[in-house]
Structure 1
Amino acid sequence: MITSRSGAEGPCVLQAYCKPNEKYLQNVCQRVIAYLYPMKLSLAGKIAVVSGGSQGLGLASAKELALLGASCILLARNETSLTAAVASLDVSQGQQHNYYVVDFSNPENVQATIQAITDAQIVNILVNNSGGPSGGPILAAEGGAFMKAFEMHVVCNQVLAQAVVPGMKASGYGRIIQIISTSVKAPIKNLGVSNTIRAAVANWAKTLAGELAPFGITVNNVLPGAMTTDRLKSLFKATAESRGVPVQTIADEWKAEIPMQRFGDPAEFGAAVAFLASPAAAYITGINLPVDGGRIPSL
């Protein structure tokens, strides 16, 4: 017997020639089966809602989901950016993409929007992603900054999940993915509010993963390191201003901490999100997946 990457077992077509010590022929058999039964990545016929989908890592994730066949519904505040983002998504498999203008600082607005979406169709994939809080030392942050960030990230995630999970259960397919930060593994200097809220999101997601696992719905977090986005540029600028040094100095310092000695491409991050959304990742839930070029030293 031989096992394919999809987990299927079957007789090896070359088994008559494969003796236990003939590793080469056994490897050939594995390659043949892998070719005949490739990894199940297709998202054809699936609907994905991607918040913060008009730019950055949200858009990068939507692009990769669309390349696997998903129809994407993008949520963000800027309609001009949303229009351009939807136009950039792949439609070669007949996907139908759409967008909604949403303000994530207003949970009631998010509630009304996701209700309209779920009234029209079942959502199979939810990507939770909102702009990060402003940088700065934690003691310098106003109390309101924590409340605002909590509403935008934790409360809005909760609202979206509550709306889409019934459809996921009914359809037998569900993926909920949070775009958070590597700060959930190691706090990042000068990101006091963000470090606090990202940890809350990670714990919310882990709790949800346990509750939804019996239904075959997975919940995972993807943790971006330093990716070439506008968010990274703004962090460089804020840090440089607080220290009174050139922006390039900060960029060089950050890059020096990355074993791969470069910043990540958003498409590389989006590919990780798309994999977790695929059928191939059906047995992966409750994880924090860093996509950071090896920067985080912890396991």
Structure 2
Amino acid sequence: MDLSLKGKNALVCGSTQGIGLAIAEELALLGANCILLARNEARLKEVVASLPRPEGQAHGYAVADFSVVNEVKEVVERIAGERVVHILINNTGGPKAGPIIDAEVVAFEAAFRQHIVVNHLLVQALAPGMKKDRYGRIINIISTSVKIPLNNLGVSNTIRGAVASWAKTMANELAADGITVNNVLPGFTSTARLESLIGYNAANRGWSEEEQARAMAAEVPAKRFGTPNEIAAVAAFLASPAAAYVNGTSIPVDGGRTGSI
């Protein structure tokens, strides 16, 4: 199986912590040159310095806030002008928790810009280089809510579903150019995002966070939460030459929790 990413360049969004960081580490282990994109420059410098370099790679970073669309556009266009990016990991934090009936319109608008508009601008800037090299891997880290909506995540459920439809459409259009577009759907994964959700649900129920965490883990057939590295392993496979014929899919990585085939 050909998993080598030697000579490939990867742009990993939201890569200073959690799932994004774990993906950057996995891609680096497979030989990719990783460009990290996030808003915390001090943390970006730390992560770049710590990434593996088994093939003597030159890793780097760029600073952008995903809530500022024009800033992201300017940064990615500069990156695209400097090198071909073969692998794009679209990964950014989700909207805050809460019932959909209580959501403000501005929350939907902000989430749409951050998840759809920003993803689209990144692909528009990078796809020409992918087409030129006839190698592209666009991987969106979204949520199992695109299969079955999750309670108390009204805005997130809505926007994640939109990302999945956008990705499927893009997959159909780009496949003939050697570019695949796939979605990884993390289930309950031990990240700051999960901690926030546990805290929100616990407060609503009058439970302790420990009680809430146990109840959520009990919903998973594996009876535990996932780790960022387990999500990253699937993303790394999708980024590899071995996954060339996997396209337009949404793959849950959730310990079996999602109740659909």
TM-score (normalised: structure 2): 0.99
Name the SS for the 2:189 alignment partner: coil
Superposition map of 1:238-277 within 5 A? 238-277=200-239
List 4+ stretches of structure 1 deviating above 6 A: none
User: What does the per-residue CA deviation read over 1:3-47, in whole Å, with 9 as the maximum and x for residues that have no partner?
Assistant: xxxxxxxxxxxxxxxxxxxxxxxxxxxxxxxxxxxx000000000
Which residue matches 1:295?
257
* Residue 8 (structure 1) aligns with: none
Q: What is the deviation of 1:148?
A: 0.2
Q: Which residue in the other structure is 1:148 paired with?
A: 110
Match of 1:157 among 104, 119, 139: 119
Q: Percent identity?
A: 58
Unpaired segments of 5 or more residues in structure 1?
A: 1-38
Which among 21, 25, 34 is matched to residue 63 of structure 1? 25
SS in 1 for 2:36: strand
Distance 1:247 1:272 in 2: 29
Mapping of residues 41-80 of structure 1, within 5 Å: 41-80=3-42
Alignment partner, residue 26 of structure 1: none
Distance 2:221 2:68 in 1: 39
Rg (Cα) greater in structure: 1
* 1:187-222 CA-partner distances (Å, limit 9, x unpaired): 110000000000000000000000001111000000
Per-residue deviation, residues 108-136 of structure 1 (Å, max 9, x unmatched) = 00000001101110000000011100000
> Aligned partners of 2:157 and 2:255: how far apart in 1?
20
**Aligned residue number for residue 177 of structure 1:** 139
Q: Which amino acid aligns with 1:150?
A: F
Higher RCO (C-alpha under 8 Å, 6+ residues apart): 2
Query: Residue in 2 aligned with 1:201?
Result: 163
Deviates more, 1:59-68 or 1:234-243: 234-243
Aligned match for 1:219, one of 181, 186, 189: 181
Q: How does 1:81-100 map to 2 (within 5 A)?
A: 81-100=43-62
The answer to whether structure 1 residue 129 and structure 2 residue 91 are counterparts is yes
- Which whole-Å CA distance do the structure 2 matches of 1:217 and 1:158 have between them? 15
Q: Within the alignment, does 1:280 sit opposite 2:242 as a pair?
A: yes
Q: Tell me, in whole angstroms, the C-alpha distance in 1 between the residues paired with 2:23 and 2:253.
A: 13
Measured in 1, the distance between the counterparts of 2:158 and 2:58 equals 37
Q: Shift of the alpha carbon at 1:92?
A: 2.0
Matched, 1:139 2:113: no
CA drift at 1:82 = 1.1
**Equivalent residue letter for 2:83:** Q
Structure 2 match to 1:25: none
Give the structure 2 partner of residue 21 of structure 1: none
The C-alpha deviation readout for 1:53-100, integer Å capped at 9, x for no partner, is 111111111111111000100111111221122122111211111111
Aligned Cα RMSD in Å?
0.7
Q: Distance in 2 between matches of 1:244 and 1:144?
A: 29
- Counterpart residue type for residue 140 of structure 1: D
Moved more, 241-250 or 264-273: 241-250
Match of 1:15 in 2: none
Supply the distance in 2 between the matched residues of 1:205 and 1:73 (Cα, whole angstroms). 22
